[in-house]
Structure formats: C-alpha cells, structure tokens
Amino acid sequence: MTTLTDDILTQLEGQGIELPSWAFGNSGTRFRVFGTPGTPRDPYEKIADAAQVNRYTALAPSVALHIPWDKVDSYDDLRAHAENLGVKLGTVNSNTFQDEDYKFGALTHHDASIRQKAIDHHFECIDIMHATGSRDLKIWLAEGSNYPGQNDMRARQDRLNDSLQQIYARLGDEQRLVLEYKFFEPSFYHTDVPDWGTSYAQVASLGEKAMVCLDTGHHAPGTNIEFIVMQLLRLGKLGSFDFNSRFYADDDLIVGAADPFQLFRILFEVIRGGGLNNPDVAFMLDQCHNIEDKIPGQMRSVLNVQEMTARALLVDRDALDAAQAANDVLAANAVFMDAFYTDVRPALAAWRESRGLPADPMAAYAASGYQQKIADERVGGTQAGWGA
C-alpha cells in the first residue's frame, strides 16, 4: 500500500473545498430540469445537505450562496444555522442573467439605468456579505452579442470597467471581487469576458482586492488549463477555482469525471505555485447533478479533488528537477506518470479512519438513511432549482 508521508497528510488535512448551494437544487439540460425526492426547498435545507458532505469527508467547511436564489429574511439566522451544522457561509455569487432587463447586457448595457440596476444588485450582495461574514463577491456575466455589428465591443469593455470600478469601491477592507470568465454561451459571436486574459485585464485595473476566478469547464477544447493556473498564480491574480468537469462544453459534471489526469496536472501547478492551502486561493465546486443524487455527487467531487491532490503531492520534485535540467524528456514525463498512476485510495481510507472519519464516506452516507429521511420529510413547498 502506498504510504503518504506526514508532510503530505498535514497538507491534505488543511484542504477545504467550498460547496455551491445551487448544487443541491434541481437542475438539468437546456431542455428540461428534473425533480428528485428530498430536494431542498429553501437555503436552510441546502445548507443542511451541504453539511452532510462535510460531516463524512471533513473537506467542505463552507457553502457559497447565490443571490437572489438564496435570499432570506435574516442572514444572521442563516449564518447561525450554518455554524450550528459545522459549516460557514462563503462566497456570494451575483446574478445578472435572469432578469428581462438584462437581455442585452447588465454591467455592459448601453442604457445607464439598466447598468445602475445591475450595479445596485452587486451593492446588495456586498451588504449580504457583511451580514454573512463572506469575503468574496464572485461575478459571472452572461453578456455579449450573437451577431457581427450588433454591439460596439470596445464600448462594452469601457462600460464594464466603469461598472466594476463602482462595485470595487464599495467593497469592505477585507472583501474581494473575483471575476469569472467563459468563452461562449449564451453569447455566441462575442462574450464580454471570454477568457482569463480579459478577466485579468479588468481586475488588474481595479486593484489588489480584485482577482480572477477560473472555472475548469470554461475553456475551448484542448486548452492547457494548467498553464493558465500557473500564469495566474505567477501574477498573484488567481483568486478562486470553480472545479467541475466537461466532455463538450460547460457541462458542470463531477470534477475529474472526464479527465482525471487534467485535474492532476492542474493540482500539480497549484502546489508548484504555492496555491494549496493558500487563503488567497479559494477551492470551490461549480456543478449540477442532473441524474445522480446531489449529496453523494458533491461528496464524490471533493473526494476526487483530495485524491488528485494527494497524487500531485507524490511527484518527486528532486527527480523531476534533475530530469528537466538534463533535458531528459522521457524521465521527466515518467516522474509525472508514476505519481499519477499511484493508487492513494487505501492510504487515504486508513488516514480518514485515524481521524475518526469513515474510511468510505460514500458508503457511510448511503447507510446513514439521510437520503430517505429527506425524501420522506420534504413534502410540499417548491423545490429549489435554477432560479429558486
């Protein structure tokens, strides 16, 4: 059995991966959203489900909120509810993609009144952050155009920067703005923030409290995502990850499901660049579970990240440095492949047991009866889902 050193186990013990509240609601394809028994009906039930993931894995200490999907009357009560369940409230995500006024843009819209409405929404999110104790405001914009000539692309960049400047100025001293990017959809000719370079250009002009959010599914096929991770860490601008997996586009599947070697390579660069257990780099999930149960889906996701982190920590850096310096291509690649192919699962199971956690969190959760309990109890009301 592979032995994980005390140093590796110490680094793994410090790992935390934030869960998205929306992962526990109903989701689906653009053709249909599917309902399942036991789906949460409000943010309190979402957080209760997220706490189950942390209970069995000790990997998910915080839950991200999405506004207005997770609006409540009292954020103090929501915060206390989370803390009583052993988790805390994390990143606050804004939403400017589901209002009729934002059909042609929000922070980039040519109409100043609509831009102000979108800016005011972010001001509200910052107020919520004060109440929840959240540090990060995450912004993803579904803005752009579908046809050549439809919009002045440069003017939209100028308006975006002006809007972001106003939002940035409202942040508290300990708060940050993280700007996500996505190379297409729902805008198919041009997208206002399509890549890491555009996001970097925008946040670099704002100041030290503005960072880039990298979603692992938001790139063209064949993109070397680990290169982007390296570069943003090198520049000190990688604020957060949204981990997921995709086969074709932005599929938001369980991280590591499509290409576990890619996840390994990304995590190696995270470690190489000083991003592991770095408070300035937030590990997060951004996934939806269309056909599988939500809680086990999130559990499998954080365990996949933990496993690939352990493998990446096994890379023999001295041997790798020597092979690279000697231009020994095959030896260098072999160092990588040896670590990737190492089965760390038995060692992780034994380590979990030593910490009072179940060796197999998935099996322990399945045996707990919680899934059946919420299916029996959560009858009536409106299930949470996209837009709720």
Can the peptide bond before residue 346 be classed as cis, meaning omega within 30 degrees of 0?
Answer: no
Q: What is the spatial distance between Cα 361 and Cα 346, in angstroms, rounded to a whole number?
A: 13
pLDDT at 385: 84
Q: What is the spatial distance between Cα 266 and Cα 229, in angstroms, rounded to a whole number?
A: 7
Q: Convert the pLDDT of each residue in 33-53 to its tens digit.
A: 888 899 999 999 999 999 999
Q: Which residues of the chain have pLDDT under 50?
A: 1
Among 38, 41, 39, 44, which residue's Cα sits nearest to residue 72? 44
Which residues is 65 bridged to in the sheet? 92
Q: What is the spatial distance between Cα 383 and Cα 195, in angstroms, rounded to a whole number?
A: 34
Domains of the chain (ranges plus CATH)?
8-313+356-377 (3.20.20.150)
Length of the chain equals 388
Where are the strands (E) in 37-151, listed by range? 62-66, 88-93, 136-139, 144-145
Q: What is the spatial distance between Cα 97 and Cα 302, in angstroms, rounded to a whole number?
A: 28
For residue 369, the one-letter residue type is G
Q: Convert the pLDDT of each residue in 281-319 to its tens digit.
A: 999 999 999 999 999 999 999 999 999 999 999 999 999
Give the Cβ contact number of residue 156 at 10 Å. 20
Among 271, 269, 260, which residue's Cα sits nearest to residue 308? 260
pLDDT at 88: 98
| Residue 351 phi, psi dihedral angles, 5° rounding | -65, -40
The residue behind tokens 């109903």 is 26
Q: Which residues contact 238 (CB under 8 A, 6 or more apart)?
A: 211, 212, 214, 229, 232, 273, 275, 281
What tokens appear for 198 in the block? 């555009």
Can the peptide bond before residue 68 be classed as cis, meaning omega within 30 degrees of 0?
Answer: yes
- List alpha helices for 171-292, DSSP H: 196-204, 225-235, 260-272
